[in-house]
Amino acid sequence: MPHTGDPEAFARNVATALFSWDTASGYGPSDYAQVLADVAATAEADALVSDVRAYLPTAEAWAQLRQYATRQWLTIDTAVIPDAWQTAVEQAAPGQIPAGATAYTITGTRHRDGTWGTESVEASRPVAFTVFLVCTPPIPGRGSSGLCEVLRLSELDNPLR
């Protein structure tokens, strides 16, 4: 997953990585989860891994989906800082929200396709969720563009509004 200091671009990259998988690739759910674990903020890494697992099929479901060469991807419609984020920041105790933290609510369409017998099948549905992230600011004169890391993910279809 590309590293960036641009919070919106990073949130979009996280969303894409979270929903992009292919059971015929030879990789399993833990391989796809690792991509996101690699960009987790250290303090929240364990919690983030738990969040990611809730989005991916279990190993048992993966085995079933593999029989149908199922793949999934996301079309993003919007990535916006939700109004409720400012309220959360205002109500947080000092130090509760890390400096540089923000949230982006992603809306889009989850697509899946595969093969049932000899027939190609497709399904899609709207999804919404929030990516909580923290970005370090760029360092002037050092060519640093900053760096973002994932803090947490909201429950699927229960985004911050």
Question: CA-to-CA distance for 104 and 153, rounded, in angstroms?
Answer: 10
User: Which tokens sit at 127?
Assistant: 């999804």
Query: Which residue from 11, 3, 32, 42 is spatially nearest to 132, judged by alpha carbons?
Result: 11
Question: CA-to-CA distance for 20 and 136, rounded, in angstroms?
Answer: 26
Confidence (pLDDT) at 121: 95
Confidence (pLDDT) at 69: 96
pTM for this prediction:
0.93
Confidence (pLDDT) at 138: 67
Confidence (pLDDT) at 144: 57
Question: CA-to-CA distance for 32 and 19, rounded, in angstroms?
Answer: 9
- Residue 26 CB neighbours (<10 A): 8
What percentage of the chain's residues is helix, strand, coil (to nearest 5)?
A: 35, 35, 30
Confidence (pLDDT) at 3: 81
CATH of domain 7-153: 3.10.450
151 touches 85 (CB < 8 A): no
106 touches 75 (CB < 8 A): no
Per-residue pLDDT tens, the chain, 161 aa: give them: 888 899 999 999 999 999 999 999 999 999 999 999 999 999 999 999 999 999 999 999 999 999 999 999 999 999 999 999 999 999 999 999 999 999 999 999 999 999 988 999 999 999 999 999 999 876 666 555 679 999 999 999 999 99
